[in-house]
Chain A
């Protein structure tokens, strides 16, 4: 009987992320999915089931969004929607299906066509109650953590800026990133304000993109490639849409991250994440989010995220390489695609194929995907290139 640790990734694919005005949803899914199938060395006919992460109705509805893009008729395909974790939840479901031995070869993918809508930022007017939640936006939902974190721990706007500088440095060499340029601390600090302390360069851009991964079991993976990666740990957790009404919530930690990481570390047998995880693609939708993330994931003590960032502890050659790809900061956040893109990056890193941004000697990598208006839902997936 197989389990989650027998699940392997044998192929990854992704489009260029950015303002892909020339591409529709179908274009991007076809490109990403065939990229992944080519990487795995399989054909669409071998895929037995699929999961596709999409957040917004303007991107697409239901599993047929995928079957139309890659012509895999007659198999089960499921649309996952779980805020910004929609993509990583597609991957989770694919992994569970393979671990259950119901299917041998499946695809998990995600896509979002953000630029097809004309609003500012991400549309949130349909989220929550018509008047009680009116005014809430994505940067504010996360930015509300800043005043409390600053009051409790002395976190500053400059600490936030270090996140942007680091991720832009990493993303500058990534051919699939939306933003491929370094930024200075001064540029970040002086950018126009979007919400509270968060300036334009503290926020991930509005971008389109798609990513796909091919999932199978390790025993089958061996027939396709030697450098497949396997699941080492996985944890998901959901909190509440109403955290801003919850007196037990203090805005100092994203509770679903803490809980998801606990589960993933327990499964992986990791007790000292700082020394046992080499790299983490972690959810930097806004710079303040990453400050809380590195604390919540145990890469530093609670409250030390800001200074640790400034000290370079999470640079590509730091204690843990956080967002070696450039993160959401450089890729943008096509919602459904993001979690799958994280698995794409971690896999490339563990295979030593992350050209120009390679974390040397990487053995254990993490995808951390956080979603909702604030930390509502989180997925943590830990992958390894070490044989079980």
Chain B
């Protein structure tokens, strides 16, 4: 069977202390923090970040893109194609969207492995991004976190082989959202007692029998949970040693829905040794267990941010009100934004994979793409070039006039490493932290909802 070739993850820069939520409502609090997507992030942008981390911005040879989320920004319209386009995957790539269930991330992984085995594509990048909205004043609000995970599934030089897949399903209504609901409804007590714990334990038991492995053979058991307590209940019932339990990231990130197992897998793989056997489970509606065996090639995998690199890079939200505002749970002033779906389609190569031009005559790299070189005015004599994702800040200004959830809007002019000069908003920065000549990197974000659809583009940010 196909294996795992690379992994990546994304945890947003902003975090909220659970204490602030509890204090706002006067209810019992839980220690720790939750990761909060910035106001310009959604499950698409976070999946893109995780995908970039996984393939290190190099789409060559990647033959497909799967996207999983229970919180996609569109009710109808593929998100996988947006991620594929931004990552600049070839037009012939296979794309598919997975959702509706907390098991969607692992289901997408299994589907990708099957598709690779069937020769549908040589490799498929599986991404899962979540920014699930909890109801306010609930335990969920202190449990849910935002984040994304990614794995590249393929046959060539896998860092972990998929040795087996075991799956079962369990029908119950315990965690759900109706069309039109913004926030998740659940009965977590009932779900944990009669759904999650027994179903996951049964799946692990069936998998162990099917794979012929004993708990002692396993280096890490990677499984998601509705909350910290339920995660511990399963570990206890399986009599796992502390060293076998993969951190579910509840302490400082929160539960990231269907992305959680892929993020945890990234966490397991960044510490794995050749020969390690890992059990990876998806849980919720369907309960799927994979047996992975880490190969020698894991030592050759280039460095990436994954979990360790992202978790340390953070900024604390000052108030619970900011969290509500970012999640659009409050009515605050909205700016006027115009867009045209036709123009956005026409300019999709410039907007999504960020293509500029390189002049064949004077070699100037420029953006936006035009028929005449802005330097030597050469006419229609240029090559399309995917622009560098890093650069140096040439100029900036903090603007308080543009209507934004988080003013000031830092406007930047940067010189990218390939020479292109580009204007963008900056995100994930502290006011006062920005200065001319500082290094910057690019991140894909939501700009506005003009025209009644999501308008995305790149922004600069200080290097994380």
- B-chain residues with CB within 8 Å of residue A134 when the two chains form the complex: 337, 425, 447-448, 455, 457
- B-chain residues with CB within 8 Å of residue A57 when the two chains form the complex: none
Shortest Cβ gap from A57 to chain B (Å) = 13
CB within 8 Å for A135 and B409 given contacts A119-B336, A140-B397: yes
Distance between Cα atoms of A134 and B404 in the complex (Å): 11
Tell me which of B279-287, B311-319, B367-375 binds A: B367-375
- A-chain residues with CB within 8 Å of residue B419 when the two chains form the complex: 247
Query: Is B457 in contact with A139, judged by CB distance below 8 angstroms?
Result: no
- A-chain residues with CB within 8 Å of residue B425 when the two chains form the complex: 134-135
Query: Is A246 in contact with B421, judged by CB distance below 8 angstroms?
Result: yes
Query: Is B397 in contact with A143, judged by CB distance below 8 angstroms?
Result: yes
> Chain A 95-123, CB within 8 Å of chain B: the 1/0 string?
00000000000000000000000011101
> Chain B 422-464, CB within 8 Å of chain A: the 1/0 string?
1101000000000010000000000110110001110000000
Pick from A119, A125, A195, A251: contact of B399, CB under 8 Å: A195
User: Does any Cβ of A come within 8 Å of B49's Cβ?
Assistant: no
Query: Is B336 in contact with A195, judged by CB distance below 8 angstroms?
Result: no
- B-chain residues with CB within 8 Å of residue A133 when the two chains form the complex: 423
Closest to A203 in B: B401
Tally of A interface residues using CB under 8 Å: 37
- A-chain residues with CB within 8 Å of residue B343 when the two chains form the complex: 129-130
- B-chain residues with CB within 8 Å of residue A119 when the two chains form the complex: 336
Pick from B337, B344, B395, B421: contact of A148, CB under 8 Å: B395
User: Does any Cβ of B come within 8 Å of A248's Cβ?
Assistant: yes
User: Does any Cβ of B come within 8 Å of A131's Cβ?
Assistant: yes
Shortest Cβ gap from A131 to chain B (Å) = 4
CB within 8 Å for A194 and B368 given contacts A130-B340, A147-B395: no
Which residues of chain B from 381 to 407 have any CB-CB distance to chain A below 8 Å in the complex?
Answer: 395-404
Shortest Cβ gap from A324 to chain B (Å) = 29
User: Does any Cβ of B come within 8 Å of A43's Cβ?
Assistant: no
Query: Is A125 in contact with B338, judged by CB distance below 8 angstroms?
Result: yes
User: Does any Cβ of B come within 8 Å of A388's Cβ?
Assistant: no
User: Does any Cβ of B come within 8 Å of A93's Cβ?
Assistant: no
Distance between Cα atoms of A144 and B396 in the complex (Å): 6
User: Does any Cβ of B come within 8 Å of A136's Cβ?
Assistant: yes
Query: Is B421 in contact with A247, judged by CB distance below 8 angstroms?
Result: yes
Closest to B374 in A: A246
Shortest Cβ gap from B375 to chain A (Å) = 7
Shortest Cβ gap from A195 to chain B (Å) = 5
User: Does any Cβ of B come within 8 Å of A275's Cβ?
Assistant: no
Closest to B425 in A: A135
Closest to A120 in B: B401
> Chain B 346-374, CB within 8 Å of chain A: the 1/0 string?
01001100000000000010111000001
Pick from B336, B364, B400, B451: contact of A247, CB under 8 Å: B364
Which residues of chain A from 39 to 80 have any CB-CB distance to chain B below 8 Å in the complex?
Answer: none
Query: Is B400 in contact with A245, judged by CB distance below 8 angstroms?
Result: no
Query: Is B337 in contact with A130, judged by CB distance below 8 angstroms?
Result: yes
> Chain A 239-265, CB within 8 Å of chain B: the 1/0 string?
010101111100100000000000000
Pick from B398, B413, B436: contact of A151, CB under 8 Å: B436
Query: Is B337 in contact with A245, judged by CB distance below 8 angstroms?
Result: no
Distance between Cα atoms of A123 and B447 in the complex (Å): 17
Top 6 A-B pairs ranked by shortest CB distance? A131-B457, A244-B423, A196-B397, A130-B339, A140-B399, A137-B401
Residues of B near any A CB (own CB < 8 A): 335-340, 343-344, 347, 350-351, 364, 366-368, 374-375, 395-404, 408-409, 411, 413, 415, 419, 421-423, 425, 436, 447-448, 450-451, 455-457
Given A120-B401, A140-B397, 7 more pairs with CB closer than 8 A:
A132-B423, A133-B423, A135-B411, A140-B401, A144-B411, A244-B421, A247-B415
